[in-house]
Amino acid sequence: MVLVADKKGLILARIPGASVPLAHTIVGASAFILAFMIGCYAHYYKIVKNGVAGYPDEWFPSVSATIGDWYPERNIHQIVIALTSGPRLLLSYLWYLLVVRNVPAHGSKGFAKFLFINDVVRTVACSGWVYVTSSDDHDVHDIAMIVYLLCTIPHVVGTIKTAPQNPKSQQYRKLFAFSFFGALIPMVYFFLQHNIHRIPGAYTYYAFFEWSLVFSDIAFDAVCLIDFETFEFRIVDVGKQDGTSSARSDLKTYGGNESAVANAGGIFFEAISFASDIYLGFVFWSMLTSLPLMIWYFPLWHMGLSGYEAFLFCNISAVFLGLNFIRRGIERAKGFVHLLSLVGVVSYQIADPAKRLIAVAAGFSLSLLTWGATLFGQRHQNGRAERGVLTLALGLILHNVVKQAWWANNPIWPIMNEKTGGQNNLGLALGVLASIQVMLRKNPGADEPQTIQTKHGESWFLAAIGAGGYLFCLHSMFTDSSTISRWSLGGYPNTGPQPIPGGLMVIAAMSMGLTLSSKRRWATSLIWWVIGTAGLGVLHFVEGDIGFAGGIVFTVYVLSLFPTLFRSLSRQPPGQTYLVAMLVYNILTLAHVWVVAYAFVPAGEMMREHTDYVLVVMQTCLLLGTFNSNTTAWSAITATRSQSTFSVARLYTKLSLVGLMAASLTICYRRFPKSVPQPYHPDHKLITAGIWTIHFAIDNDMYNSEIRMRDVIKDLELDVVGLLESDLQHMIMGNRDLTQFLSEDLNMYADYGPGPTKHTWGCTMLSKFPIKRSTHHLLPSPKGELACAIHATLDVYGKEVDVIVSHNGQEEDLLDRQLQSTELGRIMRESDNPFLFLGYVVTQPGKGQEIYELLMNGGYVHDVEVSDWDRWCQYLAFRGVKRVGYARVSHGGITDTEIQVGKYQLLEDHPTSWDRTQSIEDFQKEEKYTQISEEQVPEGMRFPSKFYGEGVRRHRYHVFDRPYYYA
């Protein structure tokens, strides 16, 4: 207290403005610290105990247990927190005055009022969860906590947006804001571990993040100490001047400039911003790739066009970027629009497939609009534009690395959930944080006049064609690191590199291409296009290692074009350019589907098996786009700020690429096989073989089915299994690869079968026995869909055994099925090895059925169970092995087709070959058998008992409700 004469009256006291946030910080922190100290002293074992475990598993108390359960810490906390309310409300009012003073530079009066009201509500909500504990009223406590957290978002964002441009305080605010919201992710994770999985010790880790949340919250408001250093309260006795006896407080502010933060701090926050953009780029690619995958579900079940294909054209919403007020509005509020686009991520919780597709289409459209507006808005800011394009490219590479870690699935796709290996909640939380970071970030150039830097003669139409073709190229070939491996696939032993380590080489090539993108004159040259096209040609026409090498060259070429083509797109009038680009992309996407699905679409014959047509058009689009691109438009960057942004973007790009490569290398190391596959029952020389049509690993509810497939294959103890409709390396299947997960998790060898350039629906073989050699066949199909087959020779207990896995044509095409069955019969008949047939034939069994006899009699093989008349598609047959058992197992909702399983023995005293001079009638007579009961079969040779009755996971023995066994 001071007494100072002043012309306005007698100054009774001068109180620094910083004392308000100081008092708030000290008192608020004391309320929690005192409660913690007293609680640990008086009731340590009680406050660390929870409904799952106690000490020593749980050894650190949570905030709620510390402040809400026991006397006296609970009451001391409540008393001290009450003392905090005064400084808290005064701080809110002072901030309101600060914002009003700075209008219009940093806000508006209306927003200042909104922020003040929000902070008052937040303060009252804080009182709600402090004074009404969960033990008093759980619902009231939770509602107050939810209101508090919801009010925290506008409090944090609004404070940063309206704060004086003091670099020091702003950097601290962003740091504490990120620490607050960042703590929510692990906090929720450990809470689920505790509450749902009931893991002892998880609540202790949850408590650490809960406490960090409290102190980040307090620290965020404490930053006002810096902003209020120039504030001063004066208590003046104005009666000394004008004869009144009243006194008033007068808030006076003084201007002041803070020195810039240290370079290290600026780099740190720019790195956070850069990482946020990369993650939002990852979200964009995730939604782009999930949309066709989800559309495919509907024609798959309709066996033809369903009408849902129209959702592919949701991307033409980009035409709205031609409306200036929409584009500028999205650019100014892009963080919020990114947040809205996450509806595509959260859609995994929608059970109805059609509604889930609608949500994904909406999310992708919003993400596309946001990225389009961002790139267009930054086109006149060379450094910023470079940064935007690079983060989108890095998001694509991150997409590949994440899919590599999840065996070619994306953990935030809407076909994933917690039961199928998804991490949707984590992906959503990271998306929310990244969106909030964009909201908090200053948006340079959003209010600046926009001018387009174009070259005379540069065509918006050619730019659109180039960008549309390029987006198709990236989506179809570079949204999974194993796609190039599968394009170059051959039969054993000339398979080319497997996804591990082939995927690592693809990701390295993508990184190299993006690094070379700075050489723009080289990237747009004709010779570089010729080199890239040659690499694509080698990949398409040559199998094995040489084809893969061509694919690596093409990968480097394609990624080197990323900044050039996207910058060229952003320089054009956005409405018409984005519309044409999306139409070109859609046309190529449909053509990409037509080359395989020609039997089910109108005018399908025109594109039948013509991936080469699609590639020629795609390369033509890239040629037109690169030569239309104006390399001189990347003018010399003279502004210091732009030069700095450009350099920092390149620096962070290189660091990001190093990090992504390190992550990919780690993933490959962890995924390398650690042991040699072993059959389940070598003591009995048993071979358990099955066939299953798995509908592209999308179950009946439109969720990924690989984990459930693994479980039933493991429970049935299958040594060899053929999986049909298994080629997922197409845009409409998400560029997935089910063989990666199944073969690694089941510890089996895998033959992918004819690759995606062979235009089949795919057939895959998994085997516990080594694959000595294999041949991939495209069976004769003059009319209908192309049929595939794998003919493999396995090393079974030291002897060669041949296996065929095949997927024949549809019922409508009799000629195709005749020719295909004849060819399969020839392959089996010409082999001297024991033989197992696992296939999809589309016929009825029995004498007089032409297709059936062409296969069985033509191949000199025996039907696994002649009397089983209730079959149509799938068949098992054998020769040269002893039949032990046969079972039919229901699909369990994974597909619409059952699993058929046969058990065989490879015995020394059983004939493993056949006499070529025999007639088919004499050959058939040799296979005599008698059905026996299960009790007569050694236990190790029986089918699992868990599939009797209701079975397990909806899989059960059906049709004859039990396995058959044979003597």
Are the CB atoms for 960 and 890 separated by under 8 Å?
no
- The C-alpha atoms of residue 16 and residue 259 are separated, in whole angstroms, by 21
- Residues with Cβ within 8 Å of residue 563, at least 6 apart in sequence: 386, 389, 390, 393, 517, 518, 520
* Amino acid present at 731: M
What is the model's pLDDT at position 256? 37
Tell me which of 43, 807, 891, 955 is the catalytic residue.
807
Closest CA to 889 of 936, 931, 948, 933: 948
Q: How far is CA 750 from CA 524, 727, 740, in A?
A: 41, 13, 8
State the DSSP code for 695.
Answer: G
Exposed, middle or buried: residue 731 (CB in 10 Å: 0-12, 13-18, 19+)?
Answer: buried
pLDDT value of position 643:
53
Q: What would the pLDDT profile of 500-551 be if each residue is shown by its tens digit?
A: 999 999 999 999 999 999 888 889 999 999 999 999 999 999 999 999 999 9
Whether residues 785 and 856 share a domain: the answer is: yes
Report yes or no on whether pTM surpasses 0.95: no
pLDDT above 70 covers a percentage of the chain that reads 90
* Residue 649: per-residue pLDDT: 84
Q: Cα–Cα distance between 712 and 717 in angstroms, integer?
A: 8
pLDDT of 638 above 50: no
Predicted pLDDT at 104: 60
Helix ranges (H only) for 672-704 are none
Residue 622: which of 542, 538, 550, 559 has the closest Cα? 559
| Same domain as 585, residue 513 | yes
Which of 576, 601, 635 marks a domain boundary?
635
Specify whether the CB–CB gap between 766 and 523 falls below 8 A. no
Average pLDDT (575-598) is: 96
pLDDT tier for residue 640 given thresholds of 50, 70 and 90 = very low
Residues paired with 6 in a beta bridge: 9
Residue 171's H or E segment, with its range, is: helix 167-195
Q: Is residue 674 part of a domain?
A: no
- CA 282 vs. chain centroid, Å, equals 8
Closest CA to 753 of 781, 782, 716, 726: 726
Distance CA 100, CA 111 (A): 9
Check: CB of residue 623 under 8 Å from CB of residue 529. Answer: yes
* Segment holding 932, helix H or strand E: strand 931-932
DSSP output for 895-909: SSS-EEEEEEE--TT
Dihedral angle over CA of 365, 367, 373, 375, nearest 10: -130
The 3-state DSSP class for residue 412 equals: coil
**Which CATH number fits the domain that encloses residue 738?**
3.60.10.10
What span, in angstroms and rounded, lies between the C-alpha atoms of 819 and 825?
10
User: Residue 260: pLDDT above 80?
Assistant: no
Residue 223 pLDDT grade (very low, low, confident, very high; cuts 50, 70, 90): confident
The SS3 of residue 78 is: helix
Q: Distances in Å between the alpha carbon of 520 and those of 397, 564, 655, 952?
A: 20, 7, 21, 59
Give which of 147, 179, 142, 184 is closest to 429, Cα–Cα: 184
Residue 603 has pLDDT above 80, yes or no: yes
Phi, psi of 184 (to 5 degrees): -65, -35
Residue 660 confidence (pLDDT)? 97
What is the predicted pLDDT for the residue at 630?
A: 59
Q: What confidence category does residue 13 fall into, taking pLDDT thresholds of 50, 70 and 90?
A: low
Among 434, 449, 464, residue at a domain's last position: 449
Q: What is the pLDDT of residue 443?
A: 65
Among residues 840, 922, 828, 919, the alpha carbon closest in space to that of 878 is found at 828
Q: Which amino acid is at 216?
A: S
Mean pLDDT estimate for the chain: 88
542 located within any domain: yes
Closest by CA position to 487, among listed 534, 532, 533, 552: 552
Rounded-to-integer distance, Cα 557 and Cα 509, Å: 9
* Residues of the domain holding 429: 265-449
Q: What pLDDT does 97 receive?
A: 82
Q: Looking at the structure, tell me whether residues 622 and 696 fall in a common domain.
A: no
Q: Can you tell me the distance from the alpha carbon of 590 to that of 955, in angstroms, rounded to the nearest whole number? A: 36
Give me the percent of the chain exceeding a pLDDT of 90: 62
Comparing 195-199, 202-206, 392-396, which segment has the lowest mean pLDDT?
195-199
Residues 87 and 225 occupy one common structural domain: yes
Q: Are residues 36 and 98 in the same domain?
A: yes
Neighbours of 453 (CB within 10 A): 16
Please check whether residues 605 and 543 belong to one and the same domain.
yes
Residue 778 pLDDT > 80: yes
d(CA 742, CA 554): 29
Q: What is the pLDDT of residue 158?
A: 85
Alpha helices (runs of H) in 672-737, residue ranges in sequence order: 706-715
Residue in the block written with tokens 């007068």: 250
Could you give the strand order of the β-sheet that contains 787-796, starting from the edge strand earlier in sequence?
A: 771-779, 787-796, 799-807, 835-840, 874-879, 862-863
- Residue 185: pLDDT band with limits 50, 70, 90: confident
Decide if 662 is inside a domain.
no
Whether 76 is covered by a domain: the verdict is yes
CA 518 – CA 527 distance, rounded (Å): 17
Same domain, 764 and 870: yes
Give the integer Cα–Cα distance in Å for 741 and 706.
8
Q: Is 912 helix (H, G, I), strand (E, B) or coil?
A: coil
- Is residue 462 located within the same domain as residue 443? no
pLDDT given at position 12: 63
Q: What pLDDT digit, counting tens, does each position of 674-718 carry?
A: 899 999 999 999 999 999 999 999 999 999 999 999 999 999 999
pLDDT tens digits, residue range 655-665?
999 999 999 99
Residue 641 has pLDDT above 90, yes or no: no
pLDDT higher than 60, residue 464: yes
> Which amino acid is present at 236?
V
Three-class SS of residue 111? helix
Residue 279 lies in a domain: yes
Dihedral, CA atoms, 311, 313, 314, 318, nearest 10 degrees?
170
Q: Is residue 642 part of a domain?
A: no
User: Looking at the predicted structure, is the pLDDT value of residue 890 above 50?
Assistant: yes
What is the CB neighbour count within 10 angstroms for residue 512? 17
Verify that 428 and 481 share a domain, yes or no.
Answer: no
Question: Using CA atoms, how far apart are residues 702 and 248, in angstroms rounded to an integer?
Answer: 69
Are the C-beta atoms of residues 542 and 757 closer than 8 Å to each other?
Answer: no
Q: How confident is the model at residue 27 (pLDDT cuts 50, 70, 90)?
A: confident
User: By three-state DSSP, how is residue 800 classified?
Assistant: strand
- Checking if the pLDDT of 762 tops 80, the result is yes
In whole angstroms, what is the distance from residue 782 CA to residue 690 CA? 29
Which two tokens mark 38? 């007293």
Strand order in the sheet with 247-253: 4-6, 9-16, 231-237, 247-253
Token duo for residue 510:
């993508």
Same domain, yes or no: 289 and 243: no
The answer to whether residue 659 sits within a structural domain is no
Q: Given 198, 232, 253, which residue is the final one in a domain?
A: 253
CATH number at residue 281: 1.20.1250
Same domain, 341 and 464: no
φ, ψ for residue 223, nearest 5 deg:
-65, -20
- pLDDT at residue 10 in the model: 66
Give the C-alpha separation, 863 to 847, whole Å. Answer: 12
pLDDT tens by residue, 808-830: 988 889 999 999 999 999 999 99
Most confident of 72-86, 450-464, 856-870: 856-870
Q: Is 61 helix (H, G, I), strand (E, B) or coil?
A: coil
The encoded tokens of residue 102 equal 């700075």
- Token pair recorded at residue 706: 């690989």
Pairwise CA distance, residues 773 & 794, whole Å: 7
Cβ-count burial 227-254 (b if 16+ within 10 Å, e if not): bbbebbbbbbbbebeeeeeeeeeeeeee
Q: Which tokens in the block code for residue 520? A: 């723009």
Q: Say if residues 466 and 627 touch (Cβ distance below 8 Å).
A: no
How many independent structural domains does the chain possess? Answer: 4
Amino acid, res. 265: G
Cis peptide before 72 (omega within 30 of 0): yes
Q: Per-residue pLDDT for 749 more than 60?
A: yes
Task: List, as own/partner pairs, every contact residues 791-795 make where C-beta atoms lie below 8 angstroms and the sequence separation is at least 24, other chains included.
Answer: 791/827, 792/491, 792/492, 792/751, 792/765, 792/767, 793/833, 794/720, 794/767, 794/769, 794/770, 795/769, 795/770
Q: Which residues contact 761 (CB under 8 A, 6 or more apart)?
A: 596, 696, 724, 725, 726, 727, 785, 788, 807
For the segment 146-152, the average pLDDT, to the nearest whole number, is 86
Residue type, 221: D
Average pLDDT over residues 261-275: 71
Q: How many Cβ atoms are within 10 Å of 642's Cβ, its own excluded?
A: 18
Report residue 523: phi and psi, to 5°: -65, -30
Confidence of residue 242 (pLDDT cuts 50, 70, 90): very low
Question: What DSSP letter does each residue of 293-334 carry, written as one string?
Answer: HHHHHHHHHHTS--SGGGGGGGGGGGGGGGSHHHHHHHHHTH
249 — pLDDT class (breaks 50, 70, 90): very low
CA separation for the pair 401, 251 (Å, rounded): 56
Lowest mean pLDDT among 448-457, 542-551, 597-606: 448-457
How many helices (DSSP H) and strands (DSSP E) are in the chain?
31, 18
- Interval 900-927: pLDDT, tens: 999 999 988 777 777 888 899 889 888 8
pLDDT band at 452, cuts 50/70/90? Answer: very low
DSSP state at residue 261: P
For residue range 711-729, list pLDDT tens digits in order. Answer: 999 999 999 999 999 999 9
Is residue 613 a part of any domain in this protein?
yes
Residues 435, 482: one domain?
Answer: no
Predicted confidence band at 265 (pLDDT cuts at 50, 70, 90)? low
807 has catalytic annotation:
yes
pLDDT in the model for residue 450: 46
